[in-house]
Amino acid sequence: MSPSATTAAARYLVHGLRVSYFTRKVTGFLDHADWLWSLVPSLGINQTALEAGWNGGIPVVATPEGDLIWDSTSVLMHLDTRIAPERSVCPDDPTLAFLDALLDDFSDEWFYRHAVGSRWLYDENRASGSLDIAREGRAELHAPLDLTREFVAEAMTACLPRLGMTPENVDAWISESLRPWQRVFGAHVANHGFLLGGRPAVSDFAFFGGNAAHFTNDPVCLRWSEEVPGLMAHTAALSVPGSHPGGRWFEAGGDALAVGDLPDTLMAVLAETGRHYLPWVAEATVKGSAVVHFESGVSAEIATTGFLNEARGVLLGRYVAARSEALDGVLEEAGILKWFADHTSEARTVPDPFVLPRPEDNRPYRAGV
């Protein structure tokens, strides 16, 4: 189906939840594309999708042609092959394309931990989050509101230790990782609109998903976010369907994009990936687990998963494909080059965006015990 036909007459069905990190990432993109879509409330019980090979990580998307696709990043990159060029969210420049993939990975594999932990370890968030989810999910479970609410809260709380989140360390995760990131992110987008310039990229929707579903929704988190006007404005901007075509990403001043073409605020954003996430993931995906060390002395040992191993390998595959003097110069300036240059042997095959995304493993973690 051509982009014009998709835009004019088709509708996507998104099986997920309004307060789901990855559901909102996908629906944010669909709004940006200005395509018709409807939300089908789902906790992850979709027999048709399960029989097609999906393993329950929401959202799963039914395309206008009737195909079922899943895995949020892969879905966005696949759907971008159908989009009108002025709304594309995949930069052509190889350096920017890799930075986009890095920041998307950072959101998906790191900040969902803060999102889930803050929702279920702060009482006010737990009360509002369980109610939000139960309102939408009760019909799929064929259960009353209160029973659904109790089931969801117990299942999600049980998964927290696997994410590295406990009542003893959650405050360190928030004060030493989430809130410093919010300030750096907010300062950058306040000046430049989006992460990679004047138009949104895949990574913008990754962070929009977390912000819209959790960090500007759950009341404790919303109060933190309100202290960062740039973050709030970025979330609001991507909440308006079809409102940002035609902007420009950062551009090279010469033959190739170089450090001097990128603002200091973006370099600060990239540096954040190396404070906790990259050291942990580089070790965990080789050894099976690694310890996250916070500056206050609090720590968390977290095991990797098959999903994370694959995501890290694909990101390294993207690095190998995009590697250049310009890209290495940017990563070196941000202090994070070694987490890629020293790990090229771990690179995996990069998925073809033209192929329907239906990976066997689509769950960064499993709820429940």
Spell out the long-range contacts of 294-300 with Cβ–Cβ below 8 A and sequence spacing 24 or more: 294/169, 294/172, 294/173, 294/176, 294/177, 295/176, 296/172, 296/176, 298/168, 298/169, 298/172, 298/176, 299/169, 300/164, 300/165, 300/166, 300/169, 300/173
Residue 369 scores a pLDDT above 50:
no
Q: What is the pTM of this model?
A: 0.95
**Could you give the CA distance from residue 35 to residue 49 in angstroms, rounded to a whole number?**
22
- Give the least confident one: 98-107, 318-327, 355-364: 355-364
From 288, 293, 289, 290, select the one nearest 276 (Cα to Cα): 293
Q: What is residue 367's predicted lDDT score, i.e. its pLDDT?
A: 56
Residue 195 scores a pLDDT above 80:
yes
Residue 2 scores a pLDDT above 50:
no
Q: What is residue 365's predicted lDDT score, i.e. its pLDDT?
A: 65
The average confidence (pLDDT) of the chain is: 94
From 290, 275, 286, 287, select the one nearest 316 (Cα to Cα): 286
Higher pLDDT, 254 or 40: 40
**Could you give the CA distance from residue 204 to residue 31 in angstroms, rounded to a whole number?**
13
Residue 93 scores a pLDDT above 80:
yes
Please state the rounded mean pLDDT for residues 250-263: 91
Q: What is residue 8's predicted lDDT score, i.e. its pLDDT?
A: 42
Tell me: the pLDDT tens digits for 12-33? 999 999 999 999 999 999 999 9
Q: What is residue 366's predicted lDDT score, i.e. its pLDDT?
A: 62
Q: What is the CATH number of domain 3-87?
A: 3.40.30.10
Query: Is the Cα torsion angle 36, 42, 47, 51 positive or negative in sign?
Result: positive
Tell me: the pLDDT tens digits for 275-296? 999 999 999 999 999 999 999 9
Q: What is residue 3's predicted lDDT score, i.e. its pLDDT?
A: 42
Query: Which pair of tokens denotes residue 271?
Result: 């540096």
Residue 254 scores a pLDDT above 90:
no
Residue ranges covered by each domain of the chain: 3-87, 94-346
Residue 163 scores a pLDDT above 60:
yes
Residue 162 scores a pLDDT above 80:
yes
Q: How confident is the model at residue 4 (pLDDT cuts 50, 70, 90)?
A: very low
Radius of gyration of the chain (CA): 19
Coil/strand/helix, residue 119:
helix
Please state the rounded mean pLDDT for residues 201-224: 98
